[in-house]
Structure 1
Amino acid sequence: MKIGIIGATGHVGRFITNEALRRKHEVVGIVRNVPEETTPGLTYLQKDLFNLTSADIADFDVLVDSYNAPENEENLHVATMKHLVGILQDADTRLLVVGGAGSLYVDNKLQTKLYETDDFPADFKATAANMSAALDYLRNAKNVRWTYLSPSKDFLVNGARTGRYKVGQEQLLIGKYGKSEISMADYAIAMLDEIEEPEHQQQRFTVCAD
């Protein structure tokens, strides 16, 4: 497949890019600035997310959004989602979103989100709340093929690539050792598995270390 990855040089974006290249997909990194040290096999499209057009992404089978808003500009999560929904109207291109864990529910009645709990770090509440609002906007979008993948509570940049994970829907998952965590490497595997064999179209799902 031809896969465009917004934020391909970011933390999560790099893992998804490398996993897609490992699986021999044609990958285009959509970045504001092309790095001096480029990734072998990766083609770059140097463009700001807000300047992307329907024509730019028309020949992608999949567009992965791994955008992360800068500090004090967390409202851009909703703005970027609105822009992407706009350019993907009635397109065949699927949108896969790197989501947050903060919007996952911590109770069986699906009433309390993780970021609404007392022990959620205050520094991350604005990001989590805005990512949750972006997800709500996406859920209500019409004529867009989308999937939203939330990680576990602890998203480990240096975690092992095991190739194993368990899948949930709207609730925060806890692994067999009592931890809610997933490595970025295993998250990327889950993302590419969903790209290759879609099982959560028009849905949010989550993954946790098995």
Structure 2
Amino acid sequence: MKKIAIVAAGGRVANKVISEAVNRGFDVTAFGRKDENHTQAQTYIKKDIFDLTKEDLAGFDAVVDAFGAWTEETLPQHSTTLAHLCDIVSGTQVRLLIVGGAGSLYVNPEHTMTLSETPDFPNAFQPLANAMAKALGELRQRNDVQWTYISPAADFQADGKRTKLYLRGGEELKLNDRGESIISYADYAIAMVDEIEIGNHRQERISIVRA
């Protein structure tokens, strides 16, 4: 049985990943800031991400970083929290899987333009996309960590259906046969747990879109 830790477990994506993993029989520990466990994780530990130590994450097969921040003051924490987690698992075989963003996906084969740089990208999401792209760039420099960065499709739907059908891409924005870039949180969670269970995309960014 694989042992998985979910960090920043209070968010909706985290809850989907936890539910998917538990339903598959994984041993899941959730770390969050709430007083009580509002997830399906078998174990819950109240602890801020910056307070986590090497001892906290030792013995897990994989750690899922579901951290999210949206305000101007907290956006830099995409970089600082990820750096902290990398330091904790540095030099170990513990996999670190990051719930990423779509804005940094490339939209051309030359990899000279990202989705966030296209004219139709919403201005409201630009600061978040920039912060997450910066964190990804810093992550790429970490050769001491078994990381996998998983970007969702451009249209990341919290209440979308669980279809169990998805396509896996790489660094470029991937469209399905209908020309869509869309994925539900539920299907994203399936892809995340699949990567933990059978995937081996170490020190790579992959992307997920509904089939």
Q: Secondary structure at the match of 1:118?
A: coil
Partner residue, 1:201? 202
Partner residue, 2:62? 62
Deviation, structure 1 residue 34: 3.2
Q: Secondary structure at the match of 1:55?
A: helix
Q: Deviations over 1:30-82 (max 9, x none)?
A: 101134x6334531111100111111101111100000014112111111111
**CA distance 1:41–1:12, shift in 2 (3 Å):** closer
Q: Secondary structure at the match of 2:54?
A: coil
1: CA distance, partners of 2:15 / 2:167: 22
Q: Secondary structure at the match of 1:34?
A: coil
Q: Deviations over 1:67-121 (max 9, x none)?
A: 0014112111111111111111112211000000000011121110111112111
Give the partner amino acid of 1:86.
D
Give the partner amino acid of 2:83.
K
Percent identical pairs in the alignment equals: 43
Partner residue, 2:86? 85
TM-score normalized by the length of structure 2: 0.95
1: CA distance, partners of 2:130 / 2:39: 33
Partner residue, 1:127? 128
1: CA distance, partners of 2:32 / 2:40: 16
1:170 aligns with 2:159: no
Question: Structure 1 regions of 5+ residues with no counterpart?
Answer: none
2: CA distance, partners of 1:24 / 1:55: 24
2: CA distance, partners of 1:205 / 1:142: 17
Partner residue, 2:38? 38
TM-score normalized by the length of structure 1: 0.95
Q: Secondary structure at the match of 2:56?
A: coil
Equivalent positions of 1:5-24 (< 5 A) are 5-24=6-25
1:102–1:113 CA contact under 8 A, matched in 2? yes
Give the partner amino acid of 1:59.
G
2: CA distance, partners of 1:142 / 1:193: 23
Question: Structure 2 regions of 5+ residues with no counterpart?
Answer: none
